[in-house]
Amino acid sequence: MSTIRPGSTIGILGGGQLGRMTALAAATLGYRCHIFCPEKDSPAAQVAAAATIADYTDREALARFAREVAVVTYEFENIPHAPVEELARLVAVRPSPAVLAICQDRVKEKEFLNRIGIATAPWKRIVDTATLDNAINELGLPSILKTARLGYDGKGQVAVKPGQADSAALWASMLAAMPPPAEAVLERFVNFEREISVIVARGPDGKHANYVAVENRHEHHILAQTIAPARVPFATARRAEGMARHIAEKLDLVGVVAVEMFVGENGDLMVNELAPRPHNSGHWTIDACVTSQFEQVVRAICGLPLGSARRHSDAVMDNLIGDAINRWPELIKDPDAKLHLYGKAEARPGRKMGHVTRLLPRKDEIANEK
């Protein structure tokens, strides 16, 4: 692949805060960004050189978009797959439509992970009440029923507890939450000590750079806080990072991927989810690393050498969700708080409005990394 030179235009599917921060990072390297999304005045469009406001299935708008950009990436994975495949016939899309197809479907994602030797929670594919009944009998309870597609931040999933396993009612609730074809997964609930994630960048030449494993704390299924580095043994963190690099290689990734994992009570690691784009748990890299995850994805998709993922500081990142955005006046007065606001006009419950990062002196086992 030839290098896409600074001065070119990067197309971004999606107008949210991940697109916004990618566009800001691209600008520091001399690139322009063109946002494609259905919403007007999106956070990403506010800082981009151009924006196309159209549905993701609008073929004529996509064709015009393709003519105006040198490469396309996406800032979320809940995009209809067929238009992305069609777009890829007109312009390079990175990560590829094949990667998107795996990561936007829990069935395909878990099949892929298990096929390459990566452990997940025990699971079963569900397509109707009968398969749900069989899965409950085989996996046991408690378990979690999740839609195969369009699930994020706890949406499209329900806990199945002992004494509450009415398969017909559960399946009816799933049908109401997902588009056809109806497909879901049942996962056995696993006891875990904590949740961690690793973000890996990989270029078209196969070279990679990974960030340190971080610890994630959720509230109401939404990421509330990330602690970098994760408070796990050094060997556990390195094992997690190795797993993430293995996943990126087997995906033949060009871009970045976030790998979310559970750390079991005995130190075992199980992958929960993949996200083939910048991730909320990587926001701390903007302020604490030589190269942020957002600059890294620009470098990867444009064929530039990857930057160093080394952190110069430890960090704690807190999301500002819903009305928490009203704390901005106090946060902006704190000289040690790095405040990032996303330009969203309306604060709604569960909506990510911004984040704040606090840097700490790096104090991990630097000697172990040499």
For 38-53, the pLDDT digits (tens) are 999 999 999 999 999 9
The whole-number pLDDT of residue 170 equals 87
Average pLDDT over residues 312-340: 97
* Bridge partner list, 36: 13, 52
For 24-35, the pLDDT digits (tens) are 999 999 999 999
Q: What is the mean pLDDT of the chain?
A: 94
Beta carbons within 8 Å of 111's beta carbon, 6+ residues apart: none
Q: How many residues does the chain have?
A: 370
Domains of the chain: 9-93 (3.40.50.20), 122-188 (3.30.1490.20), 192-369 (3.30.470.20)
Secondary structure E strands in the chain:
9-13, 32-37, 50-53, 71-74, 123-126, 143-147, 157-160, 184-188, 192-202, 208-210, 214-219, 222-228, 255-264, 269-275, 313-321, 337-341, 352-361
Distances (CA, A) of 24 to 100, 147, 273: 24, 33, 27
Q: How far apart are CA 247 and CA 235, in angstroms?
A: 18
Please count the other Cβ atoms lying within 10 Å of the Cβ belonging to residue 236.
18
Q: Are 87 and 72 in contact (CB under 8 A)?
A: yes
- How many CA atoms are closer than 13 Å to the CA of 151, on its beta-carbon side? 26
Q: Which of 46, 40, 79 is nearest to 62 (CA)?
A: 79
> Predicted confidence band at 169 (pLDDT cuts at 50, 70, 90)?
confident
Q: What share of the chain is helix, strand, coil (3-state, %, to 5)?
A: 35, 30, 40
